[in-house]
Structure 1
Amino acid sequence: MSVGIVMLVHEDLHRAAQLARHWQASDCPVVIHVDKSVGQEGYKGLVRALADLEDVMFCERHRCEWGRWSLVAASQTASEMMLGNFPDVRHVYLASGSCLPLRPVGELVDYLKERPRTDFIESATTDDVPWTVGGLDKERFTLRFPFSWKHNRRAFDKYVKIQRFLRFKRRVPRGLVPHMGSQWWCLTRQTLSAILEDPDRDKYDRYFKRVWIPDESYYQTLARIYSSNIESRSLTLSKFDFQGKPHIFYDDHLQLLRRSDCFVARKIWAKANKLYDALLTDSEHAMKVAEPNPGKIDRIFSKAVERRTQGRAGLVMQSRLPNEGWENGVTASQYTILEGFSDLFLDFEDWMARATGARVHGHLFGPERVEYAGREKTFAGCLSDSAELRDYAPADFLRNLLWNTRGERQVFQFGPRDSQGISWFLARDPNASVTVISGAWSVPLFNSNLNFSEIRKISAEQQKIEADHLDILRSYYTKARVHIYTMADFIQSPMEPLQMIIDDIGSRSNRRLTEAPRMVDLTGFSQFLQNLKNQGMHPYLMGDFPSGNDPRHSATATRKPYLVK
């Protein structure tokens, strides 16, 4: 025998028994520490289940708690029993009851036999450790931590603040340079016995009893004193998320674990029967011999952390509702908002759909209903045309619509008659492309059969709404691509803005436009605006329409000629 296994067990005792038998079957003695919080009945059942194995022993029990000294005490007790009872053991491997060998134990024994003087323990100074979570790296060695972080968090945090306020600092024992690393190590007999038999052990133990999470620093620090050859890495594959919590491996991670070529992995779900059946197997079905290389799967874990912390652009759902500004992209794809176009042009939606091949909607935020393309009652993802449902969460409604139609450009109309609660969302979305013909909302009023006093009132209301909306679009915080034209400027030369919109959407053809959609009849519109002025309402958003001159446009009257082939 050359490798001894120290197992720390606190739950799933049936798996611990299965693992102990697997280790012992390869002539590796096992010393098991069972957490004192485990009931006597469960503990005695585990002892009986392994009673037939001579090289499996149970050490004195400690009540263990995460982040406290008790975990180090448990490993010390078990290691002392291992060294005292199995003199042929050359390496001691620390594992838990949820650690699962990924390769035949014989390969681990041979690997360590070729490296008889090498200690495998992750050990780095606090300046070189990037994985500490919670803001306590150097301070975990200079402050006191008498309170449990897990069970008495308020007292823990308050006591840390008091010590910081008083500028209290503990003195690190002379000769020690604090190091940190994974708690799962594999040490040689010489190094481990030197740590446990050190004449200054009592002094070191007293110091580390007040260090936070000492199981990640006790052996990692002391090994630097006694080891002649440290490889600063763990032979156990353990991955942690961005919160410092360990990843749990399930049945569908089998191929991922095999790709790592590591000897042991934690933390394995106790009900992952497929993993246990596949990996606790004979050597004929084991993995090929290879150097452990957990870096081969680091990319997958990095991607998982990125997906969990950032999510997918435009995806907001019950299981992931990020705070405002924390989204990884406000919406899933680019889209276009056209304001005033359907008021100024006849059958504009159909013309735009033919010209671009995009899905062109009406007023998605109209007051009566959601005007989907073709005026459907439901749209992608069973989105209803109910204005009430839409206005309950207008931003989420638009996110869902864009998420459900990924790959297809969406275009919709907007104006002062629509629900304005979406304005800031549109302005701050980099995926939005907004083109406004300001004042075009007055054209339907011009062609309406309402009393002029009512037209004046509605015009004043809509002009104020559009003015506020334009202020938002011109805001410093706006990230959307915004183009604003007064109605007077636009009708003088409509081709260039229309061509720009079509180029932005990406039309089916790269040919230039030769004619604009048919504009509504604006005969008498200048006098209409003058009548509004005469009634005390100043229609300034339309631009400069000289009195008595009706606006006219020509599809061929452009600012620059277009070559048509």
Structure 2
Amino acid sequence: MTLGVIMLVHTAFDRAEQMVRRWAEGGCPVVIHVDRNVEPATHDHFVHAISDLPDVRFASRSRCEWGTWGLVEATQSAATLMLDEFPSVSHVYLASGACMPLRPVSELEAYLARHPDTDFIESATTADVPWTVGGLDRERFTLRFPFAWKKNRKLFDLAVRLQQLVGYRRALPEGLVPHMGSQWWCLTRQTLEAILQDPKRPAYDRYFKSVWIPDESYYQSLVRMHARRVESKSLTLAKFDHQGKPHIFFDDHLELLQRSGCFVARKIWRDAELLFQTFPQPSAPDQIDAEPNTGAVDRLFSQAVERRTYGRPGLFMQSRFPSSDRQAVLTASPYAVLQGFDDIFPDFQRWLARRTGAEVHGHLFARDRVHFADGVELYRGGLSDHPRLRDYNPKMFLTNLIWNAREKHHCFQFGPADSQGICWTLAKDTNASIWVVTGAWSVPLFLSGRSASEVRAEAARLQRIENKFLKVLRSPQVRARVRIMSLAEFVEAPMDVLQTIIDEIAGHKGRAISEAPRMADIEGLAAFLQDLKNQGMHPFLTGDITALTVQTRRRQSRRKPYIVAGK
């Protein structure tokens, strides 16, 4: 069998000449189409440079604009010339000047000889795969596209909107089912002849001339009508990013291309000298019959696209910053937000640090300053304790803090007296665990020694702020893990709550609590809250605090349960 190659050339003619010679050295006749937009002098110089190759032909030139009919017209004229000039050709391979053979041409020919009746072309219906990038999917087959998208963007968009507004819909040629796929194919002579000599070809051509990006649908659709066997894949390794633009292979991709086992790769950077010197690689006895394996390449590029579009959790770059809210994970690692605990336990921060080994901060969003762990003024990454610097962008302050010490489990205190600009960020972050003891702000007011009438306004203000935060935490948009309990509920069983917090933070390293941290003396709190009610301020967030409730804080500690296996 003989493999013929159609090469579409637009730029980088020095590299295109190099690729023509490599195909010719492998015994392949080559038909070249040079874009009509190329200057005559450049075209003539290129023709002269490869005039010594006997089995090279040049097809009539078409103007090739991206997404327009010219690209299909170019392949039609080149394919017709190929079939007329080289009757021994059994398969025709479509390539570009930026395509590079990775394996010897003889291995590709042997592979095709094992599949003599198979056409290799990506071909899938628009309903089956979500490949389309750019907003138009089935519409590309039902609307008309008389304007080039790249050169006449405004006219293109206007024409689409007008057709959609009036409900215009084109009729498909009888028997045609639109398919899409990569434009880089390898077809058998029989299938290609059937497509080019089809009596209905004038009708198909008229239809596809007004289809958007017809080079990705013309052959992909018609091959389904004429092929004996279709292998819906391209033999050319071509990867695309999230914007539908082709990835470019550089010298850094050498090892990746070697492992892929693919016959041809696109798109090669014109200055990737190492790749041009390395490929095609000589035949290896154990690789001659090897099937192309793009699994490793697919995984790597999928990870690259994911990294490019979503980044790493907790690390934002400028290009992704405006749309960062689409991410469910805003920070680099899990952390805990504890509200009200340090009001009830004066030494809670140091006690929790000893019990869990976590990085336990004070009130990071306090209005006077940032209370970092151990009271430092400057934290990792140059984070200052100045509140104005923090409040300029509190979300980025939090993500930077956790990213800079992401190997640790962070905890920090929060409360209604703090700056509240971070509330929605905490609520939407799946890494956050938020524990709230509502009404705990009443304890410091009680311990201040001031009368209920003196603290009435402050108590109302704190309760109002905390209630707003609770509404945020109860919103359907919340992704954080949230546990809310009133002060009365917590005082009745503080050990259970504290043990759960320690287990979550410390994991398997957590131990049963032998004793709770020292609780503030809240004897008389119930009477203080009643005085607030008498003053007209109802502290409903504290729950029903009574003298009996306060006494339960002296309950015996519970041991962590364990199981003894029987014989």
Residue 63 (structure 1) aligned with residue 63 (structure 2): yes
Residue number in structure 2 paired with 1:142: 142
Separation of aligned partners in 2, 1:471 and 1:142: 48
Residue number in structure 1 paired with 2:78: 78
Letter in 2 for 1:461: R
CA-to-aligned-CA distance 1:250-284 (integer Å, 9 cap, x gap)? 22222322333221111222222222221145446
Tell me how far 1:551 sits from its aligned partner: 4.8
Note closer, same or farther for the CA distance 1:527–1:255 as it changes in structure 2 (3 Å cut).
same
The aligned runs of 1:492-503 (5 Å cut-off) are 492-503=492-503
Tell me how far 1:286 sits from its aligned partner: 11
Separation of aligned partners in 2, 1:106 and 1:336: 62
Residue number in structure 2 paired with 1:315: 315
Separation of aligned partners in 2, 1:180 and 1:225: 14
Q: Secondary structure at the match of 1:490?
A: helix
Residue number in structure 2 paired with 1:336: 336
Note closer, same or farther for the CA distance 1:509–1:199 as it changes in structure 2 (3 Å cut).
closer
Note closer, same or farther for the CA distance 1:483–1:186 as it changes in structure 2 (3 Å cut).
closer
Separation of aligned partners in 2, 1:231 and 1:246: 22
Residue number in structure 2 paired with 1:415: 415
Note closer, same or farther for the CA distance 1:349–1:221 as it changes in structure 2 (3 Å cut).
closer
Letter in 1 for 2:464: K
Residue number in structure 1 paired with 2:373: 373
Separation of aligned partners in 2, 1:274 and 1:289: 26
Tell me how far 1:507 sits from its aligned partner: 5.9
**Stretch moving more, 389-398 or 537-546:** 537-546
Separation of aligned partners in 1, 2:200 and 2:485: 82
Tell me how far 1:121 sits from its aligned partner: 2.8
Note closer, same or farther for the CA distance 1:545–1:255 as it changes in structure 2 (3 Å cut).
same
Tell me how far 1:98 sits from its aligned partner: 1.0
Separation of aligned partners in 1, 2:293 and 2:491: 67
Residue number in structure 1 paired with 2:54: 54
**Stretch moving more, 527-536 or 97-106:** 527-536
Separation of aligned partners in 2, 1:534 and 1:132: 67
Structure 2 gap segments, 5+ residues each:
none
**Stretch moving more, 44-53 or 392-401:** 44-53
Tell me how far 1:365 sits from its aligned partner: 0.5
The question of whether the paired residues in 1 share the 8 Å contact of 2:123 and 2:221 is answered with yes
**Number of aligned residue pairs:** 563
Residue number in structure 2 paired with 1:25: 25
Separation of aligned partners in 1, 2:269 and 2:224: 34
The question of whether the paired residues in 2 share the 8 Å contact of 1:514 and 1:556 is answered with no
Q: Secondary structure at the match of 2:326?
A: coil
Note closer, same or farther for the CA distance 1:523–1:328 as it changes in structure 2 (3 Å cut).
closer
Tell me how far 1:126 sits from its aligned partner: 4.4
Residue number in structure 2 paired with 1:249: 249
**Stretch moving more, 92-101 or 333-342:** 333-342
Tell me how far 1:220 sits from its aligned partner: 2.9
Tell me how far 1:76 sits from its aligned partner: 1.8
Residue number in structure 1 paired with 2:92: 92
Note closer, same or farther for the CA distance 1:401–1:72 as it changes in structure 2 (3 Å cut).
same
Residue number in structure 2 paired with 1:163: 163
The question of whether the paired residues in 2 share the 8 Å contact of 1:125 and 1:180 is answered with yes
Residue number in structure 2 paired with 1:394: 394
Q: Secondary structure at the match of 2:338?
A: strand
Letter in 2 for 1:155: L
Separation of aligned partners in 2, 1:344 and 1:372: 20
The question of whether the paired residues in 2 share the 8 Å contact of 1:10 and 1:97 is answered with yes
The question of whether the paired residues in 1 share the 8 Å contact of 2:452 and 2:528 is answered with no
Tell me how far 1:555 sits from its aligned partner: 4.5
Residue number in structure 1 paired with 2:122: 122
The aligned runs of 1:154-303 (5 Å cut-off) are 154-283=154-283, 288-295=288-295, 297-303=297-303
Separation of aligned partners in 2, 1:433 and 1:128: 40
Separation of aligned partners in 2, 1:286 and 1:241: 33
Separation of aligned partners in 1, 2:27 and 2:218: 29
Note closer, same or farther for the CA distance 1:46–1:326 as it changes in structure 2 (3 Å cut).
same
**Stretch moving more, 259-268 or 217-226:** 217-226
Separation of aligned partners in 1, 2:559 and 2:105: 80
Q: Secondary structure at the match of 1:381?
A: helix
Tell me how far 1:217 sits from its aligned partner: 2.5
Tell me how far 1:116 sits from its aligned partner: 4.3
Residue number in structure 2 paired with 1:457: 457
Separation of aligned partners in 2, 1:557 and 1:69: 83
Q: Secondary structure at the match of 1:41?
A: helix
The question of whether the paired residues in 2 share the 8 Å contact of 1:372 and 1:379 is answered with yes
**Stretch moving more, 533-542 or 176-185:** 533-542
CA-to-aligned-CA distance 1:206-265 (integer Å, 9 cap, x gap)? 222122222122223333444444433322122233443323222222232233322111
Q: Secondary structure at the match of 2:43?
A: helix
The question of whether the paired residues in 2 share the 8 Å contact of 1:8 and 1:96 is answered with yes
Tell me how far 1:432 sits from its aligned partner: 2.2
Residue number in structure 2 paired with 1:384: 384
The aligned runs of 1:338-357 (5 Å cut-off) are 338-357=338-357
Residue number in structure 2 paired with 1:9: 9
CA-to-aligned-CA distance 1:159-185 (integer Å, 9 cap, x gap)? 234334444343333454443332212
Note closer, same or farther for the CA distance 1:371–1:111 as it changes in structure 2 (3 Å cut).
same
CA-to-aligned-CA distance 1:113-141 (integer Å, 9 cap, x gap)? 44444433333444445423445444433
TM-score, normalised on structure 1?
0.88
Tell me how far 1:463 sits from its aligned partner: 2.6
Identity of paired residues, percent?
56
Q: Secondary structure at the match of 2:92?
A: strand
Letter in 1 for 2:503: D
Separation of aligned partners in 2, 1:479 and 1:345: 28
Separation of aligned partners in 2, 1:562 and 1:211: 70
Tell me how far 1:545 sits from its aligned partner: 4.7
Letter in 2 for 1:144: R
The question of whether the paired residues in 2 share the 8 Å contact of 1:2 and 1:28 is answered with yes
Letter in 2 for 1:470: L
Separation of aligned partners in 1, 2:456 and 2:168: 73
Q: Secondary structure at the match of 1:412?
A: strand
Separation of aligned partners in 2, 1:303 and 1:37: 37
Note closer, same or farther for the CA distance 1:85–1:475 as it changes in structure 2 (3 Å cut).
closer
Letter in 1 for 2:110: D
Tell me how far 1:23 sits from its aligned partner: 1.1
The question of whether the paired residues in 1 share the 8 Å contact of 2:491 and 2:549 is answered with no
Q: Secondary structure at the match of 2:323?
A: coil
Separation of aligned partners in 1, 2:559 and 2:376: 40
Q: Secondary structure at the match of 2:483?
A: strand
Tell me how far 1:69 sits from its aligned partner: 0.7
Separation of aligned partners in 2, 1:70 and 1:233: 24
Residue number in structure 1 paired with 2:517: 517
Separation of aligned partners in 2, 1:301 and 1:258: 15
Separation of aligned partners in 1, 2:229 and 2:549: 92
The question of whether the paired residues in 2 share the 8 Å contact of 1:356 and 1:508 is answered with no
TM-score, normalised on structure 2?
0.88
Separation of aligned partners in 1, 2:190 and 2:483: 75
The question of whether the paired residues in 2 share the 8 Å contact of 1:514 and 1:555 is answered with no
Separation of aligned partners in 2, 1:286 and 1:272: 28
Separation of aligned partners in 2, 1:557 and 1:114: 80
The question of whether the paired residues in 2 share the 8 Å contact of 1:120 and 1:235 is answered with yes
Tell me how far 1:9 sits from its aligned partner: 0.9
The question of whether the paired residues in 2 share the 8 Å contact of 1:314 and 1:328 is answered with no
The question of whether the paired residues in 1 share the 8 Å contact of 2:488 and 2:549 is answered with no
Residue number in structure 1 paired with 2:431: 431
Note closer, same or farther for the CA distance 1:485–1:85 as it changes in structure 2 (3 Å cut).
closer
Residue number in structure 1 paired with 2:478: 478
Q: Secondary structure at the match of 2:187?
A: strand
Residue 153 (structure 1) aligned with residue 153 (structure 2): yes
